[in-house]
Amino acid sequence: MRRICPKCGNNTFITTAHVMQDWEVDTEGNYLDTVNGCVQVDQEPDRDNSWSCSRCGTEAINEEALTYDQNKFTIHWVDNDPVSHVEYCGQNIGNEGYISVCREENTIHIELFNSKKAQISKTSLYKEMSGTAMNEIPFVLEALFGTYGIKVTATCNYLYWYELVAPDWKEKSHYIQYHPDDNNIWSYMQSQGHSCSCGSKCFHYEENNGRIEAHCNACRKLIGEPFTEDRCKIIRSEGIWR
């Protein structure tokens, strides 16, 4: 009976086995160190054990029992170039990771994770849909990566989980913050008594060469001084940057 991860389609797992080991011990037989981690296998992994996916940690199921939900799935993305890395909002997130997609009516919830399953971002996007979230994969990729000038494609294997392939990761030096709900530039109002020299009180955030700045909506002039790195991290984590 074959096992499979129902979330990402992986076929390697972490489970328990009983083995005999050679130890280094003290004069009373107390453990000091492991000399040989597996002299022999006394009991191989039991089918009734908990089998956890070595990639995403989800508990495995029998392959025959896999029911694929086209409105809730995970994309495994990978950049096969060992000398490059993926940039998200100016942050190096490595060569591999995961995108969890979940649809609720006309809202798509998207979570981005790195290869160690640490969450990088979480956002919800509104989109009128007549089909399943599976049909909206190009929209999801565009929201996360495509707007950064990255050409990406998603290819489906026979078990219907997706692998994101990036033939050419490109970086930009300039980004603008967009609101996740309506995909318009995210605008803010200056505090009372403050305004741009042009008279406008509305501004938005831009990133130039890794530095977050506030710019006037009317004349695009820089307002105030660049933010501290801690403040940049907070601003950068909100909205969609493109």
pTM here?
A: 0.44
- Under 8 Å between Cβ of 120 and 112: yes
The token duo for 35 is: 């000399």
Give the per-residue pLDDT at 75: 75
Strands 151-156 and 3-4: unpaired
- Under 8 Å between Cβ of 32 and 23: yes
pLDDT one-digit tens code per residue, 90-114:
566 666 777 888 888 888 888 888 7
pLDDT category, 26, cuts 50, 70, 90? very high
pLDDT one-digit tens code per residue, 69-96:
778 877 776 655 544 455 565 566 666 7
Which residues lie below 8 Å from residue 115, measured CB to CB, with a gap of 6+? 94, 95, 96, 97
- Under 8 Å between Cβ of 18 and 46: no
Beta strands in 79-138 (DSSP E): 87-88, 91-92, 96-104, 107-114, 119-126
Give the per-residue pLDDT at 32: 93
pLDDT category, 135, cuts 50, 70, 90? confident
